[in-house]
Amino acid sequence: MKIALLAGMTLIGSVATAICTDAGVTDQTIGINPAYRNLSVKPGDDFEEYANGGWRKTAEIPADRASTGAGFEVFERAEKRNADLVRQVAAGNPQPDTPEGMIAAYYAAFMDTANIEKRGLDPLKEKLREIDGITSKTDLARVLGERLRADVDPLNATEMWTENLFGVWLTQALSEPDRTVPYLLQGGLGMPDREYYLSTEPEITRQRTAYQTYIADLMKLAGMSDPASRADRIMALEKKMATVHVDRITNQDVHKANNSATLADLKSNAPGLDWDAYLSAAGLEKQPMFIIWQPSAIKGLSALVESEPIETWKEWLTFHTISQNAAYLPQAYYDLRFGFYGKTLQGTPKQLDRWKRAIARINDDLGDALGKIYVAKFFPPSSKAAVQEMVKNLLAGFDHRIDALTWMAPATKAQAKAKLKTLRVGVGYPEKWRDYRGLVIRREDPLGNAWRAEEWEYHHQLAKLGKPVDRDEWWMTPQTVNALNLPLQNGLNFPAAILDAPFFNPKADAAANYGAIGATIGHEISHSFDNAGAEFNSEGKLANWWTPEDAAHFKAASQQLVEEFNKYEPLPGLHLNGEQTLGENIADVAGLSAAYDAYKLSLHGKELPIVDGLTGDQRFFLAFAQSWRQKIRDAALRSQIVTNEHAPDRERAQTVRNIDPWYEAYAVKPGQKLYLKPEERVRTW
């Protein structure tokens, strides 16, 4: 979980689970692949290597990707399906003002490289003129405000907010879940995290130098004078921004984030920015209240507006305006951008084919329009019903786990069960689709299409203000390979694309299905009760519902998990931060435990037969570990460790060491590397 408001998986580590709808998908009756194993390794020494080592020896990462594995296979299939759908839509010559017409025009515009090369930087001239026309700090505030944009994942929105001083997120208030408010969050950095500016670690230092070179090269390509000096000033400004940014551990503390403020408060507590001009330009001038997620950062960034020269701010805005829109500019601009963000930060040697990039942008800008077509073809009602049945079993399993907790007081149990009972679970797709009326998409204007779509989405988010809260709102499109928990809504979203082959097969036995999709469902349910989700009650309100004794026990168990993950060293000299990944690790342990209970409940007291020499329990845990199989480039792995709240997939697969039945299933003994004494095994839910 990144923060307490949006918690979920990431593509790099998503447990992709499936209902098979493609005839070309291999049908494995036991739902796992014994050939993926490395039988020279004892399960008790390294379960992930035992489960996936054979696969990893021959697996190759595609040249245009940072990793490959189970989640990538599901993503790749969804990507191809989306591309086929877009091409089919375009071939039908749809009317321009229909969702299908928008999709066709957007795709055609993005793929028309001849037009893009011919126009050069012309599509940016108006925005660059706006920047050039800044002559005062009020002008600066106005231009910054005009570029404020909303996102649905506020602390993972680095790319969207690099040309914005702040980010905004519009959702329910922490203490008033029946009221939608704007959250203001720190922004402005071109690299993924403050650590990239402040760390002295050699590899990050190298990347920092590469970023400054990228700034200079891009400015030079755009015809700017003295690009090296401009890069020096831009880099110095961003370092100052990074210094006032809040670190990721602090970001995860929801209590530190619950800071309401009026316009008068902003003026008083964060001087330096002309707040009247800024909020008016952003369309937020009439808002009576904001929530400030990182008060010290907002204060520090506002002060920099006053203290730093206008010309430096103009250079910073110019660079990011060009960089952020490089995908819609001549290829030379995107080559430079990919050189840093792709090759340097992720270690990826080859750019994505243009059609893949086009599909990604359509998913971003017209996600529901494409998603509605996607589910009509690839997610039939039978698939939705099958997953809903598994959700029902997982909820029952979690309910039983609450009953069985010996350390939890009856009053706390009652609150936990109430939260479980009112949990809203969305499977496949939303009940209400977005209506894109008013959005203009033009065949000859790829960059304008992106801007207009971004602005349309911003106004769509602003329209929530003053309206009744939609507790069934979805925060992902159906074609997204991901899943998440929404504590303020007390809800879960499982998009259709993640409910796909190869991991869930209606013909496979319960062991594999519950080990894969069951653990995913359990993971998301468990987010409602992890270190952050447990702060919210059944109504989605930030409210304590724990006795002091229960809270102390939970904290102690959580600390065990912090220490367990602190010991992992995925790269030489680079350990995991168990505090940073705590929420996701709690959800993995609790989710796998709940999935095992649900698996057993589904058997009604019977045992599954031995297949290929594996018992049902062995297949359950093997399915879990194989769902995390991954091969990842070192640069991408390093970036994940520094910036992400999820532990790497290899370490997540070792979660089994906290589950008692795993020890019996694989005869794990003291002295083996993963062995934990019973009292050392983490038991939260």
- Amino acid at position 470, single letter: D
pLDDT digits (tens, 9 = 90+) for 628-644: 999 999 999 999 999 99
pLDDT digits (tens, 9 = 90+) for 124-137: 999 999 999 999 99
Both structure tokens of 598: 């649900």
User: How do the domains of the chain map onto residue ranges?
Assistant: 7-36+379-431+471-680, 121-328
pLDDT digits (tens, 9 = 90+) for 361-400: 999 999 999 999 999 999 989 888 988 988 999 999 899 8
**CATH number for the segment(s) 121-328:** 1.10.1380.10
Give the model's pLDDT for residue 315.
98
pLDDT digits (tens, 9 = 90+) for 91-121: 999 999 899 999 999 999 999 999 999 999 9
Q: What is the mean pLDDT of residues 269-284?
A: 98
Give me Rg for the CA atoms of the chain.
Answer: 25
Q: Which residues face 183 on adjacent strands?
A: 169, 291
Q: Which strands, in side-by-side order, build the sheet including 7-8? A: 7-8, 484-486, 491-495, 424-428
Give the model's pLDDT for residue 30.
75
Give the model's pLDDT for residue 6.
45
pLDDT of 320 higher than 70: yes
Residue 362 — left, alpha, or beta (φ > 0 → left; ψ -120 to 50 → alpha)? alpha
For 7-36+379-431+471-680, CATH number out of 3.20.20.140, 3.40.390.10, 1.10.240.10, 3.40.718.10 equals 3.40.390.10
Give the model's pLDDT for residue 508.
79
Q: Model-level pTM?
A: 0.92
Q: What is the mean pLDDT of residues 19-24?
A: 33
Q: Which residues contact 404 (CB under 8 A, 6 or more apart)?
A: none
Q: What is the mean pLDDT of residues 18-42?
A: 66
Q: Cα(first)–Cα(last) distance of the chain, in Å?
A: 17
Helix (H, G, I), strand (E, B) or coil at 288: coil
Q: What is the mean pLDDT of residues 510-514?
A: 90
pLDDT digits (tens, 9 = 90+) for 392-414: 999 998 998 899 888 899 999 99
φ, ψ at 680 (rounded to 5°): -95, -10
Confidence of residue 544 (pLDDT cuts 50, 70, 90): confident
Distances 95 to 90, 263, 367, 440 between C-alpha atoms, Å: 10, 45, 19, 13
Give the model's pLDDT for residue 507.
73
Give the up-direction half-sphere exposure of residue 273: CA atoms within 13 A in the CB hemisphere: 29
Of 154-163, 300-309, 501-510, 594-603, which range is least confident? 154-163
Q: What is the mean pLDDT of residues 29-51?
A: 94
**Gap between the Cα atoms of 41 and 24, Å rounded:** 33
Of 138-152, 236-250, 418-432, 496-510, which range is least confident? 496-510
**Gap between the Cα atoms of 186 and 517, Å rounded:** 35
Give the model's pLDDT for residue 31.
79
Q: Which residues contact 119 (CB under 8 A, 6 or more apart)?
A: none
Distances 289 to 357, 467, 585 between C-alpha atoms, Å: 38, 15, 34
Both structure tokens of 59: 């697996």
pLDDT of 155 higher than 50: no
pLDDT digits (tens, 9 = 90+) for 672-685: 999 999 999 998 88
Q: Which residues contact 648 (CB under 8 A, 6 or more apart)?
A: 13, 570, 576, 630, 632, 637, 640, 641
DSSP 151-216: -SSGGG-TTTTTTSSEEEEEEE-SS-TTSEEEEEEE---SSSSTHHHH---HHHHHHHHHHHHHHH
